[in-house]
């Protein structure tokens, strides 16, 4: 079941990311889509902040994968540069070492993605953002439902 959340400010985005920080569990994979400037990296930064990451989270466009220490370790990927590549950067390892994984431009590594994940699609509409959430697998469906209910409470 898809859930739509309306984000009207950076503060709303921080609150949404904060809820993900509360529900995050080892090996949770978050797939982020949306145009350049939609707010994917900003969401990752707020999520890292909630999980106590001390380092500054910056866009991994050039490195593709950056890892951080927090209450949960985080792998932050930006697969934009892999558009025309079939290369496996050892993704399986990243999905199975107990970290939270956040992926921007995930459609470029579709063949390497795990079975269960949560997608967040961010669309800019006028001066708001619509974030569409969808979880695969019963656990992720439940997480999405809980986050939706707590956000809109
Ligand atoms: P992406 O990673 O999707 O390309 P970024 O997160 O790098 O996007 O950029 C989003 C930009 O929009 C940032 O400069 C951010 O401060 C700004 N912004 C303004 N309002 C919001 C919001 N509600 N949510 C996320 N980003 C926002
Ligand atoms: Mg980005």
Among the bound ligands, the one closest to the CA of 122: 1
ipTM above 0.90, yes or no: yes
pLDDT digits (tens, 9 = 90+) for 27-45: 999 999 999 999 999 999 9
Measured from the CB, is residue 38 less than 6 Å from ligand 1? yes
Q: How many angstroms is it from 125 CA to the middle of ligand 2?
A: 18
What integer pLDDT is reported at residue 38 of this predicted model? 98
Q: For each of the domains in the chain, give its residue range(s) and CATH number, in order of start.
A: 3-152 (3.40.50.300)
| Nearest atom of ligand 1 to the alpha carbon of 36 | 4
Average of per-residue pLDDT across 51-79: 96
pLDDT digits (tens, 9 = 90+) for 76-85: 999 999 999 9
Dump the DSSP string for 64-128: SEEEE-SSS-EEEEE-GGGTT-----SHHHHHTSS-EEEEESGGGGGGG--S--EEEEEEEETTE
pTM: 0.97
Measured from the CB, is residue 61 less than 6 Å from ligand 1? no
């Amino acid at each position: 079941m898809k859930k739509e959340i309306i984000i009207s400010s950076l503060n709303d985005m921080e609150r949404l990311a904060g809820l993900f920080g509360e529900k995050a569990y080892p090996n949770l994979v978050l797939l982020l889509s949306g145009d350049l400037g939609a707010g994917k990296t900003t969401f990752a930064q707020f999520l890292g902040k909630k999980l106590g990451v001390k380092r500054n989270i910056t866009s991994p466009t050039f490195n593709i994968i950056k890892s951080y220490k927090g209450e949960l370790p985080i792998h932050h990927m930006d697969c934009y540069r892999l558009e025309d590549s079939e290369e496996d950067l050892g993704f399986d390892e990243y999905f199975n070492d107990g970290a939270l994984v956040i992926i921007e431009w995930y459609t470029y590594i579709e063949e390497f993605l795990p079975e269960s994940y949560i997608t967040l699609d961010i669309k800019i509409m006028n001066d708001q953002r619509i974030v569409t959430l969808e979880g695969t697998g019963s656990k992720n469906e439940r997480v999405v439902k809980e986050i939706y209910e707590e956000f809109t409470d």
